[in-house]
Amino acid sequence: MAPLRTLVVDDESLARDTILRLLAGDPDIEIVGECAGGAEAARRIRDAAPDILFLDVQMPEVDGFEVLRRARPAEVPAVVFVTAHDAYAIRAFEAEALDYVLKPFDDERFHRTVERAKARVREHRVNHLARRMAEALDSRTEPEPAAGYVERLAIRRDGGVFFVRVEDVDWIEAADYCVRVHTGGRFHLLREPLGDLETRLDPRRFYRVHRSAIVNLARIKELQPHFHGDGIVVMHDGSRLRVSRGRRERLHRLLGVVSS
């Protein structure tokens, strides 16, 4: 498998040097750049398309969260926040970061994170190939559930298990290492990361509109424009969800929307 393209972003040169030193000699890692500022990092992410991103949270002018907003790195499989502060952990995981490493970190802690990042990227590549194959085989007729994709979700509650048919799901949102499955104006908690669940859903029926939400295409009621090229999907249950600019065109194609 090709080396994992890795970008290091931190405004402190010592922190960048430490990360680069710990990554040096790893045959699976290819360093595609280092950045000292957030604005530069957003541009480099778009140009270099890294597989792994080590990203400082607190930087002058443009912080780590703003970097992600600007770069919209929907295809960066593994984002690792590296910071001296623990106050941003919740926001980091809401942004679906793979890990949140506090400075100063020891070598063992860092290398565990690197191994997790490698596993995430490899899984992402396999899933991406599977989705592309599914799209290539897609027809213009109304699809039946594809073989191998889940048709119902098993929800554990009160010591038991009940099932939700995927066609009854309105949308799904990330909640740390779990997801909230919205259906009929209610939600159920499923202990599975959003990225893992996405691979089990038929991509012809479900689409990830941004890093934290997957929608049932049949449950979309309306599309609306938003700021900076983003869009809004209005679901039949009344929920309003942002569609990132990088995913909006693909959503329009799936829904048969003709560009004006």
Sequence-ordered strand ranges (E) for 158-238: 160-165, 171-175, 178-183, 186-190, 206-210, 213-216, 220-225, 231-235
- CATH class of the 152-255 domain in this structure: mainly beta
pLDDT in tens, 28-44: 999 999 999 988 988 88
pLDDT reported for residue 122 = 85
Boundaries of every domain in the chain: 4-136, 152-255
Q: Where are the alpha helices (DSSP H) in 104-176?
A: 107-137
Beta bridge partners of residue 34, listed in sequence order = 8
pLDDT reported for residue 66 = 87
- Interior angle at CA 79, CA 75 and CA 85, nearest 5: 155
Angle between helices 107-137 and 13-23 (to 10 degrees): 70
Q: Which CATH architecture has domain 4-136?
A: 3-Layer(aba) Sandwich (3.40)
Residue type, 72: R
pLDDT in tens, 86-113: 776 677 666 667 788 888 888 898 999 9
pLDDT in tens, 102-142: 888 888 989 999 998 998 888 877 776 766 666 666 544 44
Angle between helices 38-48 and 64-71 (to 10 degrees): 40
Half-sphere exposure of 231 (CA within 13 A, CB side): 18
Better pLDDT: 144 or 77: 77
Q: Are 145 and 205 in contact (CB under 8 A)?
A: yes
Per-chain mean pLDDT for the chain: 84
- Quote the distance between the C-alpha of residue 149 and its chain's center: 20
